[in-house]
Chains A and B, each alone.
Chain A
Amino acid sequence: MNYRILEKKVLIPGQTTLLVIDAPHVAKKAKPGNFVILRTSEKGERIPLTIADCDPEAGTVTIVFLVIGKSTAELNTLEEGQALHDFCGPLGRATHIEKQGTVICVGGGTGVAAMHHIAKGHAAMGNHVVAIVGARNKDLLLFCTELGSFCPEVLIATDDGSMGHHGFVTEVLKQRLEEDKDVSEVVAIGPVPMMDAVCKVTKPFGVKTTVSLNSIMVDGIGMCGACRCTVGGETKFACVDGPEFDGHQVDFGELRLRLSQFRPQEQESMQLFQHKCTCGEGK
C-alpha cells in the first residue's frame, strides 16, 4: 500500500504543516471526528492525528501536524511524491452531528485543523456554525479562510492583539454565549489548558460542550489503554470510546500529567535527531 503525499503545504514555517495523503479506502469512510495513525518509516512510532479534511471522490485525507518531537520532525522532512510507511484509519468514534441550530466551534493551535473538519460536518448538516479561532499572533492563525467559506461567523482572538480580539478565545466565547442564549453546543479542540478553560466558561451557561482528547496512543484500536482518561469518574479509552467526550466530565489535570509520561524519552529522541540533521547537512 502506497500512502503518497500528494500535497504539502507549510502553514507555519518550522512549526505546522499540512499534508494531503492518497488513501482512498480511508477517505471513503472517514467522518468528522475520526483520526488516523501513521508511521513515517520502518523504525517509526505510531503517531495519532485527527483528520483535518477528506475528499472521498479524490480519495484523499488531509492531516495537519505540529512539529513537536522527533517523529513529527521526521514527518516534516517528507516531501510531495514521497510516501508514508503506514497510514491506518479511520479510527475513533465520529462526531455526533445532528440538525440542532447554532454550534460554536472553538479551535486553538493545531487543534483548529481537527475542529475544521467537525465544523464542516455541522455546516453540511445545516447548523449555524460560529468558528472561534485563537493563536498567539496573527501569523499563527490557521484555517480562517477555509472556515470562512462555510461558517457565517469566524471570530478571531490573538494573545498579542495583532488580529481580532486582544486576548483568549474563551473571552470571545463567553461574550458570544452571553449575547446568544440559543447556542446548542460548543465544540472545543486545542491544547489541554484551552479545552479546560472553554469547559469552565460554558459550564455556567449549561451548554453541552464537546472536546476531542489528544491522549498518548499506541495502537489506536483499544488494545493497550495508553490513552485512558477519566470521564465522569470512569476510565475511558480515548481511541475507542472517544476521542470526543463531554468536556464537563473530563479530568483535564490527569490528562495533562499523563501526556507528560514519556517527556524525557521524547527529548532524548529529539536531541539525537537534531544532532543527526545538523551533521547530515555538513554544518
Chain B
Amino acid sequence: MSEKATKAAKLPRTDMPVQPPFARIQNYLEVALGYSEADAMAEASRCIQCKKPGCRQGCPVEIDIKGFIGKLQQGDVPGAYKVLREYNSLPSVCGRVCPQETQCEGMCILGKNPEKTGGAVAIGRLERFVADTFAKRLAGGDAACLQITGEAACRMVHDDLKVACIGAGPSSLTVAGYLASLGIKVTVFEALHEVGGVLVYGIPEFRLPKEIVRREVDAMRELGAEFKTNWVGGKAFTVQELFDEGYKAVFIGVGAGLPQFMRVPGENSIGVFSANEYLTRVNLGRAYDFPNYDTPIFKADEVCVVGGGNVAMDAARTALRLGAKKVSIVYRRTKAEMPARLEELEHAIEEGVQLELLCAPLSLNADENKRLVSMTVQNMKLGEPDASGRRRPEPIEGDTREISCQLVIIAVGTKPNPILLEATKGLALNKRGYIEANPETGETSIHNVFAGGDIVTGAATVISAMGAGRKAAKEIAKRLLGTEA
C-alpha cells in the first residue's frame, strides 16, 4: 500500500448527519442531512487520487470520480460540479439514490481493507455535497445553463429542431437537459400530472425531496424545454403523429411501470396494495398530508411489505411514518441477498422495521368482508446459487406460519407498460416485452426513435437510465446538428 493510502488510513470515513430515528419516523422530511463543508473537505481529503481508479469502473456512466474529488480537494466546487455534469445529468439525485456500495464505492481501494483504511471514500455523499452546494450558490442570468451543464453559456438556439421525449423520468430528463443545453427544442410528454417519473411518484420525500427534481426541471424550462403533463403516449398521441408534427427524433423513456402481483389467493382483498399504488398515493398524491391533500391512504396497525429491494424499503418506511405499530419486510432469502441499497436497509432497521426472512407468501387471508387479517407464508431455506449468483430459496416442505397483518404492500417488481408499445407499429420488443435498442446509440427498430431506461433494461437504477438517456441524446444531437456535440 502506498504512503498516501496508509496516511488516509488514519482518517475514518466521515459520517453523514441524519435525523435521529425516533424523530424522523414522525415526519416526512429528508433523513440524511448532507455533509457540511468541513465534513466534505475531510472526506474528500481521504481520496488518494489513485493512478488507476477502480471507482470509475464501478460507475455505470463512468464519472471521472477522481477528477471531481480532486477539484473538491482544492475547494473548487464549480469545477467539481462541471466534472460531474459531464457524465451525470442529475448528480443531486444520484448522490442520494445510487447503490454506491455495489458501484463506485464498492471498487474504491480504501474499501478493500476497511479496518486499516477506514473504509471506502463516501463518493455518493461527496457527489451530493457538490451538487447541492453548487445549486445553492446559483443566481443570475446564467443559472439555468450552469445548473444543466456546469458551463456559463449554452449553445445557440435551434428553434427549427424539435425533439420529443415520452415520459418524464430520469432517462427523458437527461435527454431533455442535454439537448436543451445545445439549443434544441425539446418537448417532454408526461402521462401523470407532475414531472419526474419514479423520482416523484416512487421515491419518497424523506429520501429524495421533490424540490431537487423541481430545481432540475425548472432549469430545463429556463433553457426552452417544454413539459406537457397529462399527455399519455399511445393514447393522446402516437409516435408517428409526433413525426408528422415536425419532431425530428423521439425518445421513449416510459419506464417499467406495470406492477407485478404474486398470484396467491386473497390478493384482491381490501388492504392489499401494489407498492406502486401505495407509494404513488403517498408521494405523487401527498397522501401523507391527508386530508389537507385529497388523496387518501390505507392505514393499519400491522403491515407486511413483500420484497427486498429499495421499493420495499421505501414502502415499509412510509408505512411507519403513517403510524403503523409494526411493519415487517417479508423476504424469501436472507438479508445478505437483499437487492436494496445498504443505507436504506440500515435506515429501515434503525427505524424499527422488522425482517421476516426466508419466507414467501402462500395466501392472503381475509374476513367475510374481504378485509385482510393475515398472511400465510411458506418457510424457505437457501439452496444452490441461481443464474443471478444468489442462492436460490427453496421451500421447506410442510413448514408454514401465519403473520397477522391488515395491510400488505407487494413490492416484487414491475413489467413494461404496454400502452405506448402496443400503439407503436414496427417497434421491436425483446422476449420479455421490453424495447430492443441499439446499446451504442439507443436507437430502436424505428429510424430516429430512441429508447432508454427501464423500458429497455427492465427495472434498474436511476443512474443507468440516465446513462442510456445520455447516449441517446448524444446520438440525436449528432444527427440533428451534424457534428459531435
Q: Which residues of chain A have a CB within 8 Å of any CB of chain B?
A: 1, 25-26, 29, 39, 43-46, 70-71, 85-91, 218-219, 221-226, 228-230, 235, 240, 254, 257-258, 260-262, 265-266, 268-269, 272
Contacts and interface: CB of A to CB of B under 8 A. Distances in A.
A224 B417 contact: no
Contacts of A70: 291, 294
A221 B191 contact: yes
B293 interface: yes
Contact of A223 (B259, B261, B370): B259
A71 B294 CA distance: 7
Nearest to A43: B293
B230 A88 contact: yes
Nearest to A74: B294
Contacts of A240: 417-419
Nearest to A71: B294
Contacts of B192: 219, 221
A228 B297 CA distance: 17
Nearest to A88: B230
B258 interface: yes
B193 A230 contact: no
Contacts of B274: 224-225
Nearest to A270: B291
B149 interface: no
Interface stretch (B103-111, B153-161, B212-220, B276-284): B276-284
A39 B284 CA distance: 13
B425 to A, nearest CB: 17
A230 B231 CA distance: 29
A260 B270 CA distance: 9
Contacts of B230: 1, 86-88
A88 B193 contact: yes
A240 B421 CA distance: 13
Contact of A44 (B267, B280, B294, B296): B294
Given A86-B230, A90-B235, A224-B259, A46 B285 contact: yes
Interface string B219-245: 000000000111110011100000000
Nearest to A69: B294
B303 to A, nearest CB: 16
B286 A223 contact: no
A235 B270 contact: no
Given A219-B280, A223-B258, A257-B370, A266 B270 contact: no
B257 interface: yes
B36 to A, nearest CB: 34
B293 A224 contact: no
A89 B276 contact: no
Interface in B154-198: 191-193
A225 B276 contact: yes
Interface residues of B, number: 42
Interface of B: 191-193, 201, 228-232, 235-237, 257-259, 261, 263, 267-268, 270, 273-274, 276-277, 280-281, 285-286, 290-298, 369-370, 417-419
A86 B193 contact: yes
B340 to A, nearest CB: 21
A265 B236 CA distance: 32
A265 B417 contact: no
A1 to B, nearest CB: 7
Nearest to A268: B291
A224 B268 contact: no
Nearest to B417: A222
A223 to B, nearest CB: 4
Nearest to A255: B268
8 contacts: A1-B229, A45-B293, A218-B280, A218-B281, A223-B258, A223-B417, A225-B259, A229-B268
In this complex, the member of A86, A240, A261 whose beta carbon has the largest number of chain B beta carbons within 10 angstroms is A261
The 3 A-B residue pairs whose C-beta atoms are closest, nearest first, are A265-B296, A224-B277, A88-B230
Nearest to B291: A269
Given A235-B261, A235-B267, A224 B232 contact: no
Nearest to A38: B230
B241 to A, nearest CB: 10
Nearest to A226: B277
B417 A221 contact: yes
Given A224-B277, A258-B270, 5 more contacts: A45-B296, A88-B230, A225-B277, A228-B268, A235-B268
In this complex, the member of B261, B295, B298, B418 whose beta carbon has the largest number of chain A beta carbons within 10 angstroms is B295
A228 B418 CA distance: 16
In this complex, the member of A70, A219, A254 whose beta carbon has the largest number of chain B beta carbons within 10 angstroms is A219
Contacts of A265: 290-291, 296-297
A71 B270 CA distance: 22
Contacts of A43: 286, 292-294
In this complex, the member of A254, A265, A269 whose beta carbon has the largest number of chain B beta carbons within 10 angstroms is A265
In this complex, the member of A46, A224, A228, A265 whose beta carbon has the largest number of chain B beta carbons within 10 angstroms is A224
Contacts of B228: 1
Contact of A254 (B237, B268, B273): B268
B294 A222 contact: no
Contacts of B281: 218
A108 to B, nearest CB: 24
Contacts of A266: 296
Contacts of A224: 259, 274, 276-277, 280
Contacts of B268: 228-230, 235, 254, 258
Contacts of B285: 45-46, 218
A88 B191 contact: yes
A269 B193 CA distance: 22
A215 to B, nearest CB: 11
Nearest to B277: A224
Contacts of A44: 294
Given A43-B286, A260-B270, A221 B419 contact: yes
A138 B230 CA distance: 38
